[in-house]
Structures are given as structure tokens and as C-alpha cells.
Amino acid sequence: MAWFTKTRKPIAPTDKVSRVPEGLYLKCPGCSQLIYNKDLAANLAVCPRCAHHFKMSASERLAMLFDGAYAVHDADLVSTDPLEFTDTKPYKTRLETTIAATGMKDAVMTATGSLDGIETVIAAMEYAFIGGSMGVVVGEKITRAIERAHALGAPVVIVSCSGGARMMEGALSLMQMAKTSAALARLDRAGLPFISVLTDPTTGGVTASFAMLGDLNIAEPKALIGFAGPRVIEQTIRQKLPEGFQRSEFLLDHGMIDMVVDRRELKATIARALLFMGARRSEPPGPSAAAALGVDAAGETA
Ligand SMILES: [Zn+2]
């Protein structure tokens, strides 16, 4: 259960003395119902009543998609604060506090393992790390992950969750757009598949580079996906934006993405697509996403 409870805040305690232990229930922002934590965990952090998709951490994503153990790459790469940037506080301090809070050195995890028996390189972005922003380290780790897949002859899956380029690294962060895109072009020339998974939110320089370059671009339901935010666009064009603008379903209707897939179907959908695109299983088919997390249908942790 620890994989799940540690990343979501419990409901604030009331003044009344409660017999329910703290953190046992969560309030769903989609339907305002109280959800038993175990029910949510058994459901891959999707509300059982209204299918609201809660955010997942990078490590939860990897655990959900891989069949079992996986090898993490480049976990020690860390930003050097090349511009010695300061906004409301020094970037160096911001990095230090975020590293301490998340236990990660930057906003992406990259790893190799089996996805339903297919050897796959997966990158998962971490929103809790400065809004999942892409700086030099994120760009370098994603590029290395793609190059590693290229050398292995394996497909790539990138799960995006990002506010865009990391402004504290200025133009260096923008260069990561070109760098990751160039690596993906080489992967494409080698005939290896890349599946992009866009989750809530995927915006800015991430949308404007690798997140939209998948052979298949899959979004989770109701995810915010766009370049500039809706408020900025409204102020610029002085027009009211249509209902559901920049959400997955709207983008599917307008041809910006290929599929909207419920998280509970995501692993099976990715595996099916990879096999269709010519990937081969090197191991027998793996367990379902929920089973890979050690959670059975009743919500009990194995
Ligand atoms: Zn709900």
C-alpha cells in the first residue's frame, strides 16, 4: 500500500474527534464522494464511481507498466544550475528542497524492463518535481533512454506529466526540445516504435516536442494537454474558448491525438500497439497493471 498512500494528501482532519484513522479516505475532486483508499489503490488511482484519474508518481507509473523488476538508468544526474538563476528563491535552493522532498534528482525516471513480455524502455515524468518541468537533466535522461532503446532494438514509451520547459534553465531548457526530437528521429529511422502517453497535465515545451511525436499518441481521459494555458490564449485572442478546450476528448475530436484510453486499459493497449508495430515478446506475457503493483481485485496488497 505504501506505493499509493505516500503521494496523496489525506483529507484535512476536522475539529470533531473521528474514529476513522487519518488517510483512510480521500475526497474525489470529480464526484466529491469519499473513496476508501484501498479501493482507489486497487483501481490504479482511478475513482471507482466517476473514473476521475488521480495523478500518479513516476515510480507508480513504472510499477504499473512493467511486469515486475526493472533497471533504472541515470538516477544520479543532477542540474548544475548553469545560469545561477534566482526568482522568488535561488534555483539551487529550490532544487535542494525538491530533491529532499521527492527523493529524486530531477523530474523524470527512465528504466528498462518487460512490458507484457516485451523488452521496453520507459520514461515517466514526475510532476512533484518542479511541475515536471524539462530542464537539461530531463532532456538528457530522455535522450539517453531513446538511445539505449535504439542500441537494444527496443521500443520506447514516454509518460508525460509536465508544465513544460524549466524556465530557471533558460534557453538551455528549450534546447532539450530539439535534442529529444532528434533522438526520436533516429529511433524512427531504425524502425523502432515510440508510444507517447499524455497525462494531466502535458503542456508547453514537452507538448511542443517529444510528447506529440509518438507513432501513437495516447491520452488519459480529461487530461489538460496544450501549449500555452487557456487563460493566456483567451487574453491574447480576446475570445471565449469552447467547452472542453485542451482536454483529451476535445483533442481527439480535432485530430491532435490518436486515442483516449482509461488508465485501467493502458498497459494492455500499449502492449497490443507495440506488437502490432512489430515488437516481439522476449518473455511470456506479463501480469495486468494492477497485479504488477501487487494489488488484487479486492484491493488487498499481496
Ligand atoms: Zn469520483
Query: How far, in Å, CA of 93 to CA of 283, rounded?
Result: 45
Question: How remote is the CA of residue 23 from the centroid of ligand 1, in Å?
Answer: 17
CB 163 within 8 A of CB 203: yes
The pLDDT > 70 percentage for the chain reads 90
* 95 confidence band (pLDDT: 50, 70, 90): very high
Question: How remote is the CA of residue 221 from the centroid of ligand 1, in Å?
Answer: 13
Of 290 and 130, which is predicted with more confidence? 130
What's the pLDDT tens digit per position in 103-146?
A: 999 999 999 999 999 999 999 999 999 999 999 999 999 999 99
Mean pLDDT of 279-284: 92
Which residues are in the CB-under-5-Å shell of ion ligand 1? 28, 30-31, 47, 49-50, 52
Of 50-59, 81-90, 219-228, 291-300, give the lowest mean pLDDT range.
Answer: 291-300
Question: How remote is the CA of residue 284 from the centroid of ligand 1, in Å?
Answer: 35
Question: How remote is the CA of residue 32 from the centroid of ligand 1, in Å?
Answer: 6
Question: How remote is the CA of residue 269 from the centroid of ligand 1, in Å?
Answer: 23
Query: How far, in Å, CA of 139 to CA of 260, rounded?
Result: 26
Query: How far, in Å, CA of 132 to CA of 259, rounded?
Result: 23
CB atoms within 10 A of CB 2: 7
Question: How remote is the CA of residue 34 from the centroid of ligand 1, in Å?
Answer: 8
Three cell numbers written together for 2? 505504501
Check residue 2 and give its pLDDT: 42
Question: How remote is the CA of residue 247 from the centroid of ligand 1, in Å?
Answer: 18
How many CA atoms within 13 Å lie on the side-chain side of 76? 0
The full DSSP string for 125-158 is E-TTTGGG-B-HHHHHHHHHHHHHHHHHT--EEE
Average confidence score pLDDT of the chain: 91
Check residue 4 and give its pLDDT: 47
Query: How far, in Å, CA of 22 to CA of 28, rounded?
Result: 16
